[in-house]
């Protein structure tokens, strides 16, 4: 249970030393320093500290304006920390998510933020109606004019939001990826990951797919939060492994084609494989929808099933 600090100044001419002293005095054993404007979305050290903290840790700043660029951003960051089981504390503000008083203050801030969002929505609707009344097209003028700079800004904002979501959930999948990659192919990593998620109590998120997992790891690598070696190609499979996969592809195609009426769902095919005692290519007893889909896709590519037959995931 570490106490981790985050210090930020806006320009290179300023110093984080005063913040560092306060954070060390409070008991921070690890401190992340950043030189960036509060409005700057490119804050690698903030991304790093959000990836670093673990359940039971405490993230400390001297003031909330050192952490967030807006109230909405502050609440997003705190929500990310709470999902990871991390306490947030601001030394200069009455915010401590580990205390009842701090949580009450946070609830008030949340209500204020929701009220602010409601006002923005109403003003936006009014602006759209006024623009339409005089014959103008509502929306981002730069995007409407196909301005390259405006498009880059929108894409950058979208990438930042994606990075924040992936970092928030990295604790759940990155350790498994680090343990298996690049020694094992992505299909096996997905099987192991989905089996681990299914066994974990609490929320039951949607299963990972091969492409989604690769995109998530690429994002972490791009943000400097994961080893690029994870993306290296896995060693070539043995003849025995290739033959085993071919057998599984044929078996899944047979189950799919033998169904009368509506084609079976991925989950239904997986349950039938489990009843027959068939194990996945990784040796797991449980079949996830992504594992079945991967085999069905191969069967479709080899002409074993109709191209138009696409089973549902449920």
Catalytic positions: 10
CB–CB of 101/93 below 8 Å? no
Contacts of 204 by beta carbon, 8 Å cutoff, 6+ apart:
197, 198
Question: How buried is 306 (Cβ within 10 angstroms: 0-12 exposed, 13-18 middle, 19+ buried)?
Answer: exposed
Rounded CA-CA distance 81/168 in Å is 8
């Amino acid at each position: 249970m570490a106490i981790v600090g985050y210090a930020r100044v806006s320009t290179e001419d300023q110093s984080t030393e005063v913040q560092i002293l306060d954070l060390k005095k409070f008991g921070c054993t690890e401190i992340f320093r950043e030189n960036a404007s509060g409005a700057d979305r490119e804050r690698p050290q903030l991304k790093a500290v959000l990836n670093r903290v673990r359940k039971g840790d405490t993230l400390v700043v001297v003031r909330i304006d050192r952490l967030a660029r807006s109230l909405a951003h502050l609440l997003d960051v705190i929500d990310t920390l709470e999902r990871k089981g991390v306490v947030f504390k601001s030394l200069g503000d009455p915010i401590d998510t580990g205390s009842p008083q701090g949580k009450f203050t946070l609830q008030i801030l949340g209500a204020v933020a929701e009220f602010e969002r409601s006002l923005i929505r109403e003003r936006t609707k009014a602006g759209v109606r006024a623009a339409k009344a005089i014959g103008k097209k509502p929306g981002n003028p730069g995007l409407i004019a196909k301005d390259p700079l405006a498009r880059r800004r929108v894409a950058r904002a979208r990438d930042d939001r994606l990075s924040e979501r992936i970092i928030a959930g990295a604790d759940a999948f990155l350790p498994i990826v680090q343990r298996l990659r690049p020694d094992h192919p992505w299909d096996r990593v997905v099987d192991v990951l989905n089996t681990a998620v299914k066994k974990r109590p609490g929320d039951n998120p949607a299963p990972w797919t091969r492409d989604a997992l690769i995109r998530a790891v690429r994002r972490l690598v791009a943000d400097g939060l994961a080893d690029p070696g994870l993306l290296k190609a896995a060693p070539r499979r043995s003849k025995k492994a290739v033959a085993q996969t071919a057998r599984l592809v044929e078996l899944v195609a047979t189950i799919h084609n033998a169904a009368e009426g509506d084609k079976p769902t991925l989950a239904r095919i997986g349950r039938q494989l489990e009843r027959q005692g068939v194990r996945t290519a990784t040796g797991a007893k449980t079949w996830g929808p992504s594992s079945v889909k991967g085999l069905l896709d191969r069967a479709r590519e080899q002409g074993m099933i109709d191209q138009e037959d696409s089973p549902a995931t449920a």
